[in-house]
Amino acid sequence: MKTRTVRRKALVPHTVDGETELVLDEYDVEVPLPPRDWDSLVRRGITVLACVLVTVSLIWTTASIGDLLSLAVIAAVAYGAGVAFDAAWILCMAVEWLLRYDPDRAALPRRAGHMALLVSMAAVYAHGQLTGEWVVGAAGAAVSLLAKGGWTIAMRAHARPLDPRTAQWVAKRRAAVDGKLAMIPVRRELVRGEALVEAERQARTAESGGSADPDRPEESADRPDPSGAGGGRRSLTTKDAVRIVWDRGIRETDPAVREIAKLVGRPVSPDTVDRYLRELRAA
């Protein structure tokens, strides 16, 4: 069995003049080498060859189609546009790889990749026909076909097929996680919207000559609503509500804003809530 030398370190007791201390000692050990993973090496080689084919195809297609388009526009623009032909199906194959565990979503980029490949091959062949070398055009078009075929085979070598039940399980778990991720920007948008509504209310209150103090509701705390509507929420200031949610153990601004809005019965300014929370943290 083949082995390799590994240097390791350990704390060992060392005594000098009757005083013992733990010191770091280095020593070598022989550990067995695992057998060579030929499958992994072959898979890695397939991936490298597929990348080489894609690179060659991209260069050839860009040169061929760029020369074709340069008949109508300047060379810099023509060759820049030539990159798009092969880059389109390469992009579709990358998306197909990312969606390999979701066959329904991967079907669209797969079909789009085939269409982009046909367009690229047709443009390369048209360049050959225009120059009077249809054989060169056909061979050049085959370069893109070989590159896509090679990358498709490489993707199959890396694929991990799922049985129908496992695929459904993965789809449900992904849907649950995607729903949580989607709610993050939605909640941020709602908080920003509530802040804008509160800012608009304060601005209109100030224009009409009323109190623009964001710490107090529109109705005075000392003079509750004579109609008795709204219970005691209208008499609660933002500062008092911040103290209540603080006592409940809420320390973050976003959840505090939501709880305070429920307590006072109106939208509150996140900046005001954050300022009071900072004061409580400092205290």
Identify the pLDDT of residue 209.
53
Lowest mean pLDDT among 31-35, 54-58, 208-212: 208-212
Identify the pLDDT of residue 62.
92
Instruction: Specify the residue for token string 């509701």.
Output: 217
**Average pLDDT value for residue range 112-131:** 92
Q: Residue 56 — very low, low, confident or very high, per pLDDT cuts 50/70/90? A: very high
Residue 58 pLDDT greater than 90, yes or no: yes
Identify the pLDDT of residue 220.
41
**Average pLDDT value for residue range 135-149:** 91
**Average pLDDT value for residue range 44-55:** 91
Give this prediction's pTM. 0.56
d(CA 200, CA 213): 13
Q: Residue 258 — very low, low, confident or very high, per pLDDT cuts 50/70/90? A: confident
Mean pLDDT rounded to a whole number for the chain: 84
Identify the pLDDT of residue 65.
92
d(CA 244, CA 240): 6
Q: What percent of the chain has pLDDT over 90?
A: 31
Where in the chain are the domains?
A: 3-32, 43-160, 199-219+232-282
CB-CB contact of 137 with 126 (8 Å) = yes
